[in-house]
Chain A
């Protein structure tokens, strides 16, 4: 369990103060894969770096597994950091060292016996699928392979928490998927909590169960991934979701071009199995024109979106919309 309360971070450069994190409160449960999404400069990296105090928060509190980490002294902090793995966008591998030595680094730091190190590193390399690259140098690896090495290194100490700062941002889509699958497997098999910083909703959609959306240092929306996809509250959340599904079309659809009323429906997995739209057409005096639709597969369920034009009497349209709401579909009028 990670509890972040009233967290603030103020940077001061040349007398000018800049609030990078403003009063952030988050609760992250054990074994969550918790996504934190936001545009560039939103404060995501600053926030995640506060969690292992690579950045010192200005005020607030952070507790990880019941430990108040802001109260730790230098030496205590150093030891505590060994329980929190971290991976980065640019991998941060030692360029002059082999894959083996890179993965072994945390174990060298633990002063583990050479024989035990060898066993563990072999196991880890096998786990991330890089057994045959043991003696290669980072310059001989692809981006995806480099991140696998970094992941193996990050879990070498059996951490309880893994922090990932844009770990897939410099990888191509296919490699991204394979790295996300690896992280998902690690979370499942090793039972660790993962905090994923990203600016790609695709990443959140694929492996996260919860998500926080950050803007200007503030968490503006926070919920389960299903709920955010089904019913995004903020414009930013909508635009992030728009970047994953065909909802970008929503911007192309101009309500003035249609004589009827445009509505946008969002529904979760179970409701998508019922023929709700055809029931609506049968029950009410309206005509329906389907403008766009999509279904997104999430971690545990799927989320569908439909944009419809409803043509008919205002009262009939109202009743149809109430009907949809009763069926657990979110309805939003596009104006």
Chain B
């Protein structure tokens, strides 16, 4: 029994951590581009910006369960499987990426316009503005955003359990729905999920508190 939960937790951590990494890798540049290319931005490309904004919105409005089914063929292509823990990482990452992009966008928008003008007055290039101004100044806000992303992915990963994604969600759904005599197992899985979310929030807050010098 213990092994069941240990295995479930490990599966969940595996899905969540890899999906977080991939969603950050996709969402970060998208969010950055979203701010840079807007009208009056540092690197204005209004047409491109509109398209990007639209795509991100569309992706964000697809319910996760449906997205999972939609990307079955893609999962198949990437990990040679459309079902299972590893396969679930694909829809999880795709679902979280636009969310990451929006978080990146809002974090950067919080930076004072004046600070960006200051760096322009020093003759910095777009790349230098990203490196020396945008990322460092938005970092605490980005960290708190990433905390939210991870918590969201934990939630999605539990949902993915219903479609054979494995992990704690899978355990909770299996025992909760089908094994009437062993409902307590659902609660145990649920408690572990809650603990995971709490620890992520706690650690996220601590890191943010530590790095924010404002």
Chain A residues at the B interface, C-beta cutoff of 8 Å: 52, 54, 78-82, 84-86, 88, 90, 92-97, 105-106, 108-109, 137-139, 153, 157, 163
User: Known pairs A95-B214, A96-B140, A105-B132. 15 more at Cβ < 8 A?
Assistant: A54-B121, A78-B124, A79-B123, A81-B120, A82-B123, A88-B117, A88-B118, A90-B112, A92-B112, A92-B115, A94-B132, A95-B137, A96-B137, A109-B128, A109-B132
B45 vs chain A, min Cβ distance (A): 15
Cβ of B133 within 8 Å of any chain A Cβ, yes or no, is: yes
A88, A93, A157, A163: the one within 8 Å of B122 (CB): A157
| CA gap between A80 and B122 in the complex, in Å | 9
Contact of A109 among B114, B124, B213, B214 (CB under 8 A): B124
* Chain A residues with CB below 8 A from B118, complex form: 86, 88, 92
Instruction: Indicate whether A95 sits within 8 Å of B213 (C-beta atoms), given known contacts A88-B114, A90-B114, A108-B132.
Output: yes
Contact of B119 among A90, A95, A105, A137 (CB under 8 A): A105
- Return the chain B residue nearest A140 by Cβ: B213
Does B122 lie within 8 Å of A105, measured CB to CB?
Answer: yes
30 contacts between A and B (CB under 8 A): A54-B121, A78-B125, A81-B120, A81-B123, A82-B123, A86-B118, A86-B121, A90-B112, A92-B117, A92-B118, A94-B132, A95-B213, A96-B136, A96-B137, A96-B139, A96-B213, A97-B213, A105-B119, A105-B122, A105-B132, A106-B122, A108-B132, A109-B122, A109-B124, A109-B128, A109-B132, A137-B213, A153-B122, A157-B122, A163-B121
In the assembled complex, B212 has its CB within 8 A of some CB on chain A: yes
Task: List chain A residues, Cβ under 8 A from B212.
Answer: 96
Closest to A77 in B: B123
Complex alpha-carbon distance, A138 and B213, angstroms: 8
In the complex, chain A residues whose CB is within 8 Å of the CB of B211: 96
Task: Please pick, from A97, A109, A139, the residue contacting B123 in the complex, using a CB distance under 8 A.
Answer: A109
Bound Cα distance A85, B123 (Å): 10
Pairwise interchain contact A94-B137, C-beta atoms closer than 8 A: yes
A246 to B123, CA, bound (A): 44
- Contact yes or no, A97 B136, CB < 8 A: yes
Q: Which of B143-162 contact A (CB under 8 A)?
A: none
**Closest residue of B by beta carbon distance from A90:** B114
> Across the two chains, which residue of chain A brings its CB closest to B135?
A96
B97 to chain A, nearest CB (A): 26
Q: Shortest beta-carbon distance, A269 to chain B, in Å?
A: 38
A163's nearest neighbour on chain B, judged by CB, is B121
Specify which of A81, A92, A106, A108 is in contact with B114 (CB 8 Å cutoff): A92
Task: Report the separation of the CA atoms of residues A106 and B132 in the bound assembly, to the nearest whole angstrom.
Answer: 10
Q: Which 10 A-B pairs have the closest CB atoms?
A: A81-B123, A92-B118, A82-B123, A137-B213, A86-B121, A92-B114, A78-B123, A95-B214, A106-B122, A92-B115
**B contact residues around A54 at 8 Å (CB):** 117, 120-121
User: How distant is B129 from chain A, measured CB to nearest CB, in Å?
Assistant: 10
CA distance A78 to B124 in the complex (A): 7
Residue numbers in A under 8 Å from B123 (CB-CB): 78-82, 109
The residue in chain A whose Cβ has the minimal distance to the Cβ of B138 is A96
Q: How far is the CA of A288 from the CA of B117 in the complex (A)?
A: 57
Cα A54 to Cα B42 in complex, Å, equals 11
Collect the chain B residues with CB atoms within 8 Å of residue A79's CB.
Answer: 123
A88 and B113 CA atoms in complex are apart in Å by: 12
**Which residues of the partner chain B approach A93 to less than 8 Å between Cβ atoms?**
115
Q: Which residues on the B side are within 8 Å of A139 (C-beta)?
A: 213-214
A96 touches B214 (CB 8 A): yes
Give Cα A79 to B123, complex, Å.
Answer: 6
Say how far A200's CB is from chain B's closest CB, in angstroms. 20
Q: How far is the CA of A79 from the CA of B132 in the complex (A)?
A: 17
CA distance A93 to B140 in the complex (A): 16
How distant is B139 from chain A, measured CB to nearest CB, in Å?
Answer: 6
- The distance in angstroms between the C-alpha atoms of A15 and B122, with both chains bound, is 32
Cβ of B71 to closest chain A Cβ, rounded Å: 37
Interface centre among A78, A79, A93 (most CB of B within 10 A): A78
Q: How far is the CA of A157 from the CA of B115 in the complex (A)?
A: 18
Q: How far is the CA of A172 from the CA of B212 in the complex (A)?
A: 28
Residue in B123, B124, B136 with the greatest tally of chain A CB atoms within 10 Å? B123
In whole angstroms, how far apart are the Cα atoms of A80 and B114 in the complex?
20
Q: Which residues of B contact A95 (CB under 8 A)?
A: 137, 213-214
CA distance A108 to B122 in the complex (A): 11
A94 touching B214, Cβ below 8 Å = no
A283 to chain B, nearest CB (A): 59
